[in-house]
Amino acid sequence: MTLAEPWRGRTQAYNIHVNGVLHCRVRYSQLLGLHEQLRKEYGANVVPAFPPKKIFTLTPAEVEQRREQLEKYMQAVRQDPSLGGSEIFNSFLRKAQQETQQIPTEEVQLQVLLSNGQKVEVSILTSDQTEDVLEATASKLDLPDDLVGYFSLFLVRESKDGGFSFVRKLQEFELPYVSVTSLHNPEYRIILRKSYWDSAYDDDVMEHRVGLNLLYAQTVSDIECGWILVNKEQHRQLKSLQEKVSKKEFIRLAQTLKYYGYLKFDPCVTDFPERGCHVVVSAGNNELNFQVRLPNEQIKEGSFKVTRMRCWRVTSSSSQVPTTNGPAGSGPGKAEVKLELAFEYLMSKDRLQWVTITSPQAIMLSICLQSMVDELMVKKSGGSIRKMFRRRANGGLRRSDSQQAVKSPPLLVSAASPWLAPAPQCPLPPECLSTSPQDSPDGSREPIAKLSVSHWGWGDGSRGWGPWSGYRGWM
């Protein structure tokens, strides 16, 4: 996380952004209060040191020094598994979000979309967190408790042709109603979609009528928008099954098709196999699939397996652009953020190479990679995602620790587009990882330590769960 001074009034405050959109504004005193709460709960030996108060007015140099110190503090808190995933930390961000957006707590109707375009109206409070809204949606649909963990809520942007661009998976540090309404743009919607990658889990979902209907609707939608490739004969068979309302058989056939279960991203730019190539990236089957348009207009396809990714990170650069609207007191401009996902990949036995994707959806890509790793780890340990939800004492649902391992996206903070990065998930012992986290995938770029202490994730580039067959090369 990096912090910068977005505006000055009687007190200095810091803006936190998610995907370049203002999430909340916090003052030094609020951050100090968070620190004291964490110390009381976890002890001084666990919580990092907090930048001290100053008696006299800060000079510009001291302001910058405090910004850097607060940045390091918040980064350390977020990267600690117990502190960064704690209810104290998440509730702090939720409360700050609601206060910043000036939305009072009241009962409202929130519209949640299903993959087939159906709208589900759920009655919630504006202060309800993500899992509360997910629970309300599941209850409205009569989805059984033990299947709720197979689904998540996503923030998407609807295009003119009716398609959706995935912005991010909604996290536990945010209030879905506040997140979507504060964008002041009807194109942004919340959609319910399955949150797992392994199609073997489809069997669990299809055991129940509602789960089957949700999975069927998503599969039909993915085929119709071209995410799943279908030839003429397969299309004929699928249409026949649709006419017979044979939903399970329809899904079984779809499971055999290319890109079933993949999430397709908007066209973006990559430096592989050469700089400046346009690419369409899809995530699924524990890999990132690239369909690259080379400078000579030739299309090449290849895949990068998550089990051969040694690590990855999201970085940002930004510029200040004028704005004439937004919440009162938000300052004279907003940060326009350029996001990149870079991952270090084992191309051959002894050759690692950085691959960079420049995309506004870089954070969502990172979340996909992390959730793939988490799912593999659950399977490796013999766990089941069926048990990812457990009952709260008051009868509600709450995600278990195994599901909380899926990390939050980075929070961009203030005018300089700094970061509050999530805790890194590292299935490998640190001693197995020899490359410095400061190694840049592009040596020609200026150092980015100040601007974007990034979201680090870890693959398993040393002792994978299976054969090293991830990189299929270019066809």
Here the CATH number for the domain that contains residue 306 is 2.30.29.30
What confidence score (pLDDT) does residue 115 get? Answer: 93
157-161, 207-211, 218-222, 255-259, range with the lowest pLDDT: 157-161
The domain in which residue 246 lies consists of: 210-257
Closest CA to 300 of 280, 321, 319: 280
Query: Could you tell me if residue 387 is inside a domain?
Result: no
Q: Give the end of a domain, one of 240, 257, 274.
A: 257
* Together in a domain, 376 and 269: yes
Average pLDDT over residues 14-36: 85
Backbone angles phi, psi at 81, to 5 degrees: -55, -40
Q: Give the end of a domain, one of 101, 116, 132.
A: 101
The string of pLDDT tens digits covering residues 430-443 is 323 323 333 333 43
388-420 per-residue burial string, b: 16 or more CB within 10 A, e: under 16:
bbeeeeeeebbbeebbbbbbbbbbbbbbbbbbb
Rounded CA separation 444/164 (Å): 35
Spatial contact of 380 and 198, defined as CB atoms under 8 Å apart: no
Query: Could you tell me if residue 410 is inside a domain?
Result: no
What is the tally of helices (H) and strands (E) in the chain?
13, 21
What confidence score (pLDDT) does residue 335 get? Answer: 53
Query: Could you tell me if residue 464 is inside a domain?
Result: no
Residue ranges in 102-208 assigned as alpha helix (H): 130-141, 145-148, 176-181, 202-205
* Together in a domain, 73 and 170: no
* Together in a domain, 69 and 113: no
Query: Could you tell me if residue 69 is inside a domain?
Result: yes
Number of domains in the chain: 4
User: 3-class DSSP state for residue 15?
Assistant: strand
Q: Output the DSSP codes for 271-290.
A: -SSSTTEEEEEEEETTEEEE
Spatial contact of 442 and 410, defined as CB atoms under 8 Å apart: no
* Together in a domain, 372 and 272: yes
How are the residues of the chain apportioned to helix, strand and coil, as percentages rounded to the nearest 5? 30, 25, 40
The yes-or-no verdict on residue 173 having pLDDT over 80 is yes
* Together in a domain, 27 and 55: yes
- Which tokens is 373 given? 């790793």
* Together in a domain, 221 and 271: no
The string of pLDDT tens digits covering residues 43-62 is 999 999 999 887 778 788 88
* Together in a domain, 12 and 93: yes
* Together in a domain, 275 and 307: yes
Query: Could you tell me if residue 291 is inside a domain?
Result: yes
Query: Could you tell me if residue 150 is inside a domain?
Result: yes
Q: What angle do CA 368, 373, 379 make, to 5 degrees?
A: 125
* Together in a domain, 253 and 269: no
pTM above threshold 0.85:
no
What confidence score (pLDDT) does residue 14 get? Answer: 83
Task: Give the CATH number, domain containing residue 183.
Answer: 3.10.20.90
* Together in a domain, 267 and 358: yes
Query: Could you tell me if residue 328 is inside a domain?
Result: no
Torsion sign, CA atoms 325, 90, 368, 349: positive
What confidence score (pLDDT) does residue 397 get? Answer: 41
Query: Could you tell me if residue 404 is inside a domain?
Result: no
* Together in a domain, 239 and 168: no
Rounded CA separation 451/107 (Å): 39
Rounded CA separation 148/218 (Å): 16
Average pLDDT over residues 177-199: 95
What confidence score (pLDDT) does residue 242 get? Answer: 95
Q: Give the end of a domain, one of 161, 195, 229.
A: 195
Rounded CA separation 416/317 (Å): 8
Max avg pLDDT among 38-52, 383-397, 410-424: 38-52
| Residue 66 CB-half CA count within 13 A | 20
Average pLDDT over residues 196-221: 96
* Together in a domain, 109 and 96: no
Cα 218 versus chain centre, distance: 20
